[in-house]
Structure 1
């Protein structure tokens, strides 16, 4: 029998992409309580079936991206900044490589402008013409318009010229965030891109016996096999450990793990790796929302894929770039530390009180650990846990130093005790644990 939560998820999936959905509307339509509807929408959001959009609400979305590794387009920029296109509509689908803030003379600006870039500038007509002539689009801030000459040039070059009522700093921050988010999305591997499909998978179906398992395991070379109900739902996983000591004539239900861990296609490979490492799993079934088997994912496949991920294509001027650039190794490392790094704070790293933002601090600590582990040849790192205890605010003008003490490093995990010093005084302490991904 399908549970009510699965029925609600099926209802959400049946909605057209872009359909607005609310807790109240869903509760009334499906005759459930508001709490049940809320939990279903939250689960749907976790699976990528819905998303919350500013000034719009919660809408049905497609969890499968249209193109892998797609870049932001100028049309995306118009949407992000709530802009208005003055000309060059034919170039709205062109990709954006970087943006340039035009707070300089034209003669200096031309060295920074390149094709498929975006010049953010005020009502400076000659700068706008310079950008269009160099193959770059233009974003005019402050709500200013432009001349017919510039619009004609934009139309002829098929390069958008956009106006926004926001100031330069605000639009730069919004675009910077979008570029960073897009870079992260490109780097995320999901189960959908990796799992072995059902037609290539060996599995058992009830009623099967221990003898059936041993015969299929020997023929397929796989020691872990999913066990399905007569309707195709995953009900267990049989392995060498679970069938050990069982008679051949016994049913497979006596020699399998009941209620096994399963994953969905929209989950990230990094999340699945964490699950498999934590529970020492060699195989996890991949299922749909009804629990039907779609395929399997093995630990060997996950680790191989995580290790073979190429270095990400860096997007200039993103927040992670700025954090990493601010981190420098210390030449003189105190004996109590395995490594030490200095951080030059910048206004963008602070909160409204002028103190270092705790999220920024966490990012810097992770970067420091990654830098140190890379010196040991450990390039494939996933952070499991980070606990930061702040002792006093870190002010903008402070010189921040990060000292790493190794508590434990083995084949699979590393744990660090971290001191964060500001102007030679301890400002915070942290403990970080991470996975070190290695092929088995």
Structure 2
């Protein structure tokens, strides 16, 4: 039996792209309360199948695949630039392919404008008209309005005309930043990326016999299986260790581990790996919001995917990459040491080295040292930092790590930050290894 929440989501998914929805309309159509309808619409927005635009409403949009995450719709542009839609609301769901700044004569501009483009321009009425005729939407900067003729053309061609109070440079920067952020998100591996390469998981039910478990072990060579109800909802996990001492006729519900640890498709692989290490488990079920089983990921799958991702070229730069970009790795008595100069981007409001950047540099140095011992993957469990002296802008620093203890699953390291051979910072780091 599906819940009201699921029924509303199914109803929204079958609506046409561009269809406008509201809480009251859904509540009336499906006979649910306003609160239930509101929660479902918010969930649909999180899933990327609707988008809410100020002064326009909520619109059904096409859900983007992970490979297309850098593409944005005109509806999203409205929110990014705090804009007002002057016309062409029917085209808000369309995808923006590129944006063009109209800082040139009309004749020259025509070479750059085409279908799917967004022309960023000021109050140039003739340019607005020609842009719409060429299939490009218009974003008017400076808070200017459009003529009635332009608004009518926008409605006719179903191409949005948007007005923003920001100037052209700010608008272009905001859109660029939004696309850049999406590129970084695209590079973060999620559980759903790993799940796409796996088939349907083999499961057992609580009333199945232990004999069936042994049969599956012989057929698949696996020793761990999720236990699900008839509805697909996960209720437990069963392993070879759990059935020791039980007869072949005993039920699986007697042996299974109830309330197993699970993750959702949008959980990052790094978080999934940490969960496996923390709980000491080899298999992790992946479930939806109703705890229905979607698949299984193993510790080996997660580690291999993370290692592959580390070797891939990156498009967007994270704060971590920006922090370590100006530093070089040098060998000092056989130990990898990071050496570099403090740049303006690495300082706080007082002009000294930011604590966040300092911890990032120390962590990176430890990672590089542990790679020498073939310890590729780890998660930081404890970080104790002592800032002895402030590090000024343009100061050359050296970060020297030292292993205090190296076990099979854990490492303890001492890290020193030196300036002119003087210690200005010190940290004690405990890291947990992720073993396959």
The normalised TM-score by structure 2 is 0.65
The residue that corresponds to 1:24 in the other structure is none
Q: How many residues align?
A: 387
| Cross-structure match for 2:352 | 355
Take 1:144 and 1:421, find their aligned partners in 2: how far apart are those partners?
53
Q: 2: CA distance between counterparts of 1:353 and 1:51?
A: 43
Q: CA deviation at 1:224?
A: 0.5
In 2, Cα distance between the equivalents of 1:54 and 1:313? 35
Q: 1:12 to 1:416 in 2, by over 3 A?
A: farther
Distance 1:52 1:420 in 2: 48
> How big is each residue's C-alpha offset from its partner over 1:72-121, in whole Å with a ceiling of 9 and x where there is no partner?
56967786455899xxxxxx96767xxxxxxxxxxxxxxxxxxxxx999x
In 2, Cα distance between equivalents of 1:161 and 1:355:
41
Hey, what does 1:293 align to over in structure 2? 293
Contact 2:187 2:314 survives alignment (8 Å): no
Q: Secondary structure at the match of 1:243?
A: coil
| 1:222 and 2:222 aligned | yes
Q: In the alignment, is the contact (CA less than 8 A) between 1:383 and 1:432 conserved in 2?
A: no
3-state secondary structure, aligned to 1:348: helix
Q: Structure 1: how far apart are the matches of 2:276 and 2:310? A: 23
Greater alpha carbon shift after TM alignment, 218-227 vs 200-209: 200-209
Matched, 1:365 2:358: no
TM-score (norm 1): 0.64
Equivalents in 2 of 1:147, 1:54: separation in Å?
Answer: 25
Query: Is the deviation greater in 202-211 or in 419-428?
Result: 419-428
1:211, distance to aligned residue in structure 2 (A):
2.0
Instruction: Write the distance in 2 (CA, Å) between the matches of 1:286 and 1:64.
Output: 21
- Work out whether 1:273 is the aligned partner of 2:273: yes
Alignment of 1:23-422 (within 5 A): 29-30=34-35, 65-68=64-67, 70-71=69-70, 80=80, 178=178, 181-195=181-195, 200-309=200-309, 311-315=311-315, 319-330=319-330, 333=332, 338-374=335-371, 380-385=376-381, 387-391=383-387, 392-409=389-406, 413-422=410-419
For structure 1, the residue ranges without an aligned partner over 5 or more in a row are: 22-27, 32-36, 86-91, 97-117
Quick check: 1:421–1:427 contact (8 Å CA) kept in 2?
yes
Rate the CA distance shift 1:415–1:19 in 2: closer, same or farther, 3 A.
Answer: farther
What SS class does the counterpart of residue 418 from structure 1 fall into? Answer: strand
Summarize deviations over 1:34-92 as a string: whole Å, max 9, x none. Answer: xxx99x999x69x8689999989xx999997434254356967786455899xxxxxx9
Q: 1:51 to 1:216 in 2, by over 3 A?
A: same
The answer to whether the Cα contact below 8 Å between 1:276 and 1:282 also exists between their aligned partners in 2 is yes
Q: Call closer, same or farther: CA 1:64–1:395 in 2, change over 3 Å.
A: farther
Structure 1, residues 362-400: CA drift from partner, whole Å, max 9, x if none? 33333333444455565x435333525252443324333
Distance 1:70 1:196, change over 3 A: closer
Deviations 1:299-326 (A, max 9, x none): 2322332233363433377644432222
Q: What SS class does the counterpart of residue 342 from structure 1 fall into?
A: strand
| Inter-partner Cα distance in structure 1 for 2:183 and 2:296 | 28
Structure 1 position 223, deviation (Å) = 0.4
Contact 2:53 2:78 in 1 (8 A): no
Alpha-carbon distance change, 402 to 286 in structure 1, aligned in 2, over 3 angstroms: same
Cross-structure match for 2:159? none
The answer to whether the 8 Å contact 1:206/1:230 transfers is no
Output the CA distance in 1 between the equivalents of 2:398 and 2:235: 52
The offset of 1:235, in angstroms, is: 1.7
Sort the Cα spacing of 1:259 and 1:70 in 2 relative to 1 into closer, same or farther, 3 A.
closer
**Are the equivalent residues in 2 in contact too, given 1:125–1:147 (CA < 8 A)?**
no
